[in-house]
A and B are shown apart, each in its own frame.
Chain A
Amino acid sequence: MIRRRTILTGGAGLLLAGCDKVIQQPTARKILFAGEDMQRGLQRALMDRGALAPEYRRDQMSPFFRTNGTRNPGTPEYAAMLANRFEDWRLKVGGLVGRPLSLSLRQIGEFPARRQITRHDCVEGWSAIGEWIGPMLGNILKAANISSRARYVVFTCADLYGGQPYYESLDLIDAFHPQTILAWGMNGRMLDVGHGAPLRLRVERQLGYKHAKYLMRIDAVENLSNIGLGKGGYWEDHVDYDWYAGI
């Protein structure tokens, strides 16, 4: 009886322990990581391109919206920009665009703004609901006359990870989604340092790590192979996070 029990429960234990061995095999790893493409394919098939993330009422907002990731880039350059209230900060829009842009915060404020109360879901599992305001990324890309060769949009930030600026990327489906905005305001005030001042990305159908804060540059590119280590984002390159963070 004892032996039989050992076989049964031992089998389950071996499976758990075996998983760590299995994932070291390149082929197994490739199959497992293909789950991301399946999830993306399925979601894109089930979802209308413009399907909106749920929006909430003001009384449904989180009483306190916690910060995470970088709370303050802490570099001398950022401190200097903050000191004169981002007067000298410019958002550079380049790459595969017909008209590269260098936009001040004032100029970004002149674009029609979208206000949305949405839920922010961290990859760790928590959620916070807040109100965001800023221009649609799609309008900025149109103003820069984005090339038809462009397939992705890459964001480069002022905060450093391992000495390099944080970076993230989206495909054009999410870049041109109406709720994908460059937020300069949050909860009725200008964006604060903890939440990504002066400008951050909101991409409401994906998890928090896609929402690049402290934006400095936006580049339209044909593919992601020359960005970082080629997977399109800091966490994707360094700790195997999914590039498609819709789940």
Chain B
Amino acid sequence: MEAGTPTEPERPPEKPGTVIRRHGVVTRVWHWVNAVAVLILLGSGLGISNAHPRLYWGRYGANFDPAWATLPHFPGWLTIPARYNLAISRRWHLFFALVLGFGLLAYMIGGLVTRHFQRDLRIRGRELRPSAIWADFRRHLAFRFHDEHDPRRYNLFQKLSYVAVLFVALPLAILTGIALSPGMNAAWPWVLEILGGRQSARSIHFITASALALFLIVHLVLVILAGPLNELRSMITGRWRIPE
């Protein structure tokens, strides 16, 4: 988003129907690279889960240890590959893990350098006032997702979910994934320490992936409700028409 700096005074809002530059090129490229990576990681991850669908807490955990969750067998239309093949699921997963990790790293650097994060994702005190939260909530219920007085701005729930995905869920998915590698356990033993052992890391990895899948579903539903062609175009060309 090529809006002004955060210190810039409020300018008169653009009229509905105006086409503005919504997403910068760094955001757009990363969004699609990451979208492909996340989908492939979720699909291949479910394939890997089918190999041992039990989750444990602690350092160890196998068939004779108590599991806190026994996962369902995920059907072929959700897994990569469709027919159970642990080796190929792992190939997909471990390749796109690198795409996800280094993609996020590049986006983090890009987002800080272009000041996209500071400008567009910073949550300001006035947004957290109960009256502001209530107004945002009512706008959502009416399927209006932008502030007509400041249409460029992300709404509070958008900011909260983007911040949670960018700075909590994705890094945690990567960190817990690193903790599953016996090689990386030797290289960075502290990762295992802070997560409470490999089987805890595996459980958190699955929970985090589930949270990301939930975000993905809500995200897609909201894109459809907000006008999918306009939203899709804004993430491809950057151009977004301010809704009526």
A46, B188: Cβ atoms closer than 8 Å: yes
- B186 shortest CB reach to chain A, Å: 4
- Interface core residue of A8, A38, A125, A235 (most chain B CB under 10 Å): A125
A53, B82: Cβ atoms closer than 8 Å: no
A32, B95: Cβ atoms closer than 8 Å: yes
Is B182 among interface residues, defined by CB-CB distance under 8 A? Answer: yes
- Taking CB atoms, residues of chain B closer than 8 Å to A4 are 224, 228-229
Q: How far is the CA of A64 from the CA of B125 in the complex (A)?
A: 54
B181, A54: Cβ atoms closer than 8 Å: no
Given A13-B77, A35-B94, A43-B187, A126-B52 contact (CB < 8 Å) = yes
23 A-B pairs with C-beta separation under 8 A:
A4-B224, A7-B228, A9-B220, A16-B80, A19-B40, A20-B80, A20-B81, A35-B98, A43-B184, A43-B187, A48-B187, A53-B185, A53-B186, A54-B186, A61-B60, A62-B60, A64-B64, A119-B59, A121-B182, A123-B86, A129-B60, A205-B182, A246-B184
Given A16-B39, A123-B86, A241-B87, A247-B183 contact (CB < 8 Å) = yes
- Taking CB atoms, residues of chain A closer than 8 Å to B52 are 122, 124-126
B202, A128: Cβ atoms closer than 8 Å: no
- Taking CB atoms, residues of chain A closer than 8 Å to B228 are 4-5, 7-8
B59, A207: Cβ atoms closer than 8 Å: no
A-B CB contacts (within 8 Å), total count: 164
- Taking CB atoms, residues of chain B closer than 8 Å to A121 are 180, 182, 198
- A167 shortest CB reach to chain B, Å: 17
Is A23 among interface residues, defined by CB-CB distance under 8 A? Answer: yes
Interface residues of chain B: helix, strand, loop or mixed (majority): helix
- A16 shortest CB reach to chain B, Å: 5
What size tier do the contact residues of chain A reach? Answer: 35 or more
- B149 shortest CB reach to chain A, Å: 28
Is B43 among interface residues, defined by CB-CB distance under 8 A? Answer: yes
Proximity bits, B28-59, A CB within 8 Å = 1, else 0:
00000000100110010000110110100001
Q: How far is the CA of A82 from the CA of B106 in the complex (A)?
A: 57
- Taking CB atoms, residues of chain A closer than 8 Å to B54 are 126
- Chain B residue nearest in CB terms to A210: B182
- Taking CB atoms, residues of chain B closer than 8 Å to A223 are none
- Chain B residue nearest in CB terms to A236: B87
- Taking CB atoms, residues of chain B closer than 8 Å to A36 are 91, 94
The residue from A48, A52, A63, A122 contacting B65, defined by CB atoms under 8 A apart: A63
A16, B98: Cβ atoms closer than 8 Å: no
Proximity bits, B191-231, A CB within 8 Å = 1, else 0:
01000001100100000000000000000100110001100
Q: How far is the CA of A54 from the CA of B198 in the complex (A)?
A: 11
Given A16-B43, A239-B87, A127-B186 contact (CB < 8 Å) = no
Is A168 among interface residues, defined by CB-CB distance under 8 A? Answer: no
- A44 shortest CB reach to chain B, Å: 8
- Taking CB atoms, residues of chain B closer than 8 Å to A235 are 87
Is A161 among interface residues, defined by CB-CB distance under 8 A? Answer: no
B62, A128: Cβ atoms closer than 8 Å: yes
Is A204 among interface residues, defined by CB-CB distance under 8 A? Answer: yes
- Taking CB atoms, residues of chain A closer than 8 Å to B62 are 62, 64-66, 122, 126-128
B59, A247: Cβ atoms closer than 8 Å: no
Q: Which A residues between 51 and 83 are near B, CB-CB below 8 angstroms?
A: 51-54, 56, 60-66
- Chain A residue nearest in CB terms to B199: A127
B184, A247: Cβ atoms closer than 8 Å: yes
Q: How far is the CA of A12 from the CA of B43 in the complex (A)?
A: 10
Given A66-B63, A125-B48, A19-B92 contact (CB < 8 Å) = yes
A56, B59: Cβ atoms closer than 8 Å: yes
Is A172 among interface residues, defined by CB-CB distance under 8 A? Answer: no
Is B115 among interface residues, defined by CB-CB distance under 8 A? Answer: no
B186, A17: Cβ atoms closer than 8 Å: no
Q: How far is the CA of A246 from the CA of B184 in the complex (A)?
A: 8
Is B144 among interface residues, defined by CB-CB distance under 8 A? Answer: no
A124, B187: Cβ atoms closer than 8 Å: no
- B129 shortest CB reach to chain A, Å: 34
- Chain B residue nearest in CB terms to A203: B182
- A191 shortest CB reach to chain B, Å: 18
With A16-B39, A125-B49 already in contact, 6 other A-B pairs whose C-beta atoms are closer than 8 Å: A8-B224, A9-B220, A33-B91, A34-B95, A245-B182, A247-B183
